[in-house]
Amino acid sequence: MNDCLFCKIEKGEIPSFKIYEDDFVFAFLDIDPKSEGHTLIIPKKHTLDLQSIEKDSLLAILEAAKKVMNLLSQKLPVDGFTIMQNNGAAQEVKHFHLHVIPYYTNTKEKRTPEEIHALITK
């Protein structure tokens, strides 16, 4: 899709803080994070929502979520995760995306996405 924000991010037309990529998915830090390390995982093939995503793409996203969770757990003091996916009117960007939101019980730090990206990718 020519006007899809996430398609443009995946193609590198819009900058992002990429933390994972393979042949099927692209994962990057959310620009308005709910917590440090809040990551969005998208299929590279434009897909609207859960109702229309192909089984292979969904499986690739779930496998990527496990890898992202492991990466974040190794680099940040994560105590748990919320995994979330919106559809329809609840979906801000009309391209399937899975939120991986780290949960912390004892952190007071408020680092920027740039700082988190540097920490995760070093």
**What pLDDT is attached to residue 78?**
94
* Candidate list 95, 97, 99, 117, residue with the active-site label: 97
pLDDT(108) > 90: no
pLDDT score, position 70: 97
Domain boundaries, the chain: 5-121
What local confidence, expressed as pLDDT, does residue 24 receive? 96
pTM, 2 dp: 0.92
- Going by C-alpha positions, the residue among 85, 76, 82, 87 that lies closest to residue 120 is 76
State how far the Cα of 68 lies from the Cα of 80, in Å rounded to an integer.
13
pLDDT given at position 62: 98
Fold of the domain built from segment(s) 5-121: HIT family, subunit A (3.30.428)
In this prediction, residues 23-50 reach a mean pLDDT of 95
Phi, psi at residue 8, to the nearest 5°? -65, -40
- Check if 95 is active-site: no
Instruction: Please give the Cα distance from 12 to 79 (Å, whole number).
Output: 32
- Burial of residue 48, with CB atoms counted within 10 A of its CB: 0-12 exposed, 13-18 middle, 19 or more buried: middle
Beta bridge partners of 99: 40, 84
